[in-house]
Amino acid sequence: MEEVKQIPQDIKSTSGNAEGKTYIRPSWDEYFLNLIEPIGSRGTCDRGRSGAVIVGPGHTIIATGYVGAAPGQPHCDQVGHMMNTVVREDGTQSQHCVRTLHAEENAILQCAKDGISVQGTTIYCKMVPCYNCAMRIVRVGIRRVVAQKRYHADQKSIKLFRDAEVNLVIMDNTIEEYTNQSAQKNQSVIDEDGFVSIKEILMEEGKKLDLNEIQQA
3-state secondary structure 70-134: CCCCCCHHHHCCCEEEEECCCCCEEEEECCEECHHHHHHHHHHHHCCCCCCCEEEEEECCCHHHH
Q: Is the dihedral of CA 109, 112, 118, 119 positive or negative?
A: positive
**Amino acid in position 176:** E
CA distances from residue 19 to 15, 25, 161, 168 in whole angstroms, order as listed: 9, 17, 44, 38
The parts of the chain modelled with pLDDT lower than 50 are 1-2, 4-5, 7-12, 14, 183-190, 211-212, 214-217
Backbone angles phi, psi at 34, to 5 degrees: -65, -15
Q: What DSSP character marks residue 62?
A: E
pLDDT on residue 205:
58
What pLDDT is stored for residue 83 in this prediction? 67
Confidence at residue 82, expressed as pLDDT on a 0 to 100 scale:
66
Q: Each residue of 78-123: pLDDT tens digit?
A: 766 666 667 667 776 666 776 688 999 999 999 999 999 999 999 9
10 Å Cβ neighbour count for 75? Answer: 15
Report yes or no: 134 and 161 within 8 Å, Cβ to Cβ: yes
Q: CB under 8 Å to 29, separation ≥6 — which residues?
A: 124, 146, 169, 171, 211, 212
| H helix and E strand count, the chain | 8, 9
